[in-house]
Amino acid sequence: DTEVTQTPKHLVMGMTNKKSLKCEQHMGHRAMYWYKQKAKKPPELMFVYSYEKLSINESVPSRFSPECPNSSLLNLHLHALQPEDSALYLCASSQGFGRSTTGELFFGEGSRLTVL
């Protein structure tokens, strides 16, 4: 079983809705990530948080808003999404981000988002 828990597993939303995806890990990891994955494609990095601070934003549209309330939790707030934003959203964590880390990412099972 994965040690990165994502909720909800499935989400359907209209283009005017506001919703949030949640991610939780209890491995003591200090880096957390959001990835977007389209069908039959590799995961694409969206955001990286290191020690609860945003380290990387891969030029993601502002309709996606990440939040890291504490070292165990990561949220992705969604507003005014487009149908092309429909995808599997994966959360991941790692020991750290940067030097002296193992580099291993632990992924959750993802939240399947459908935008109507």
Neighbours of 82 (CB within 10 A): 10
**Distance of closest approach, residue 99 Cβ to other proteins, in angstroms:** 6
* Beta bridge pairs of residue 31: 50, 94
Nearer to other proteins by Cβ, of 64 and 97: the residue is 97
What does the binding site for other proteins look like in residue numbers (CB under 8 A)? 2, 4, 31, 40-43, 45, 48, 56, 90, 92, 94, 96-101, 103-110
**Distance of closest approach, residue 63 Cβ to other proteins, in angstroms:** 23
Nearer to other proteins by Cβ, of 16 and 28: the residue is 28
Nearer to other proteins by Cβ, of 11 and 92: the residue is 92
Q: What angle do CA 67, 46, 106 make, to 5 degrees?
A: 85
**Distance of closest approach, residue 18 Cβ to other proteins, in angstroms:** 25
Beta carbons of 116 and 106 less than 8 angstroms apart: no
As a whole number of angstroms, the distance between CA 35 and CA 50 comes to 15
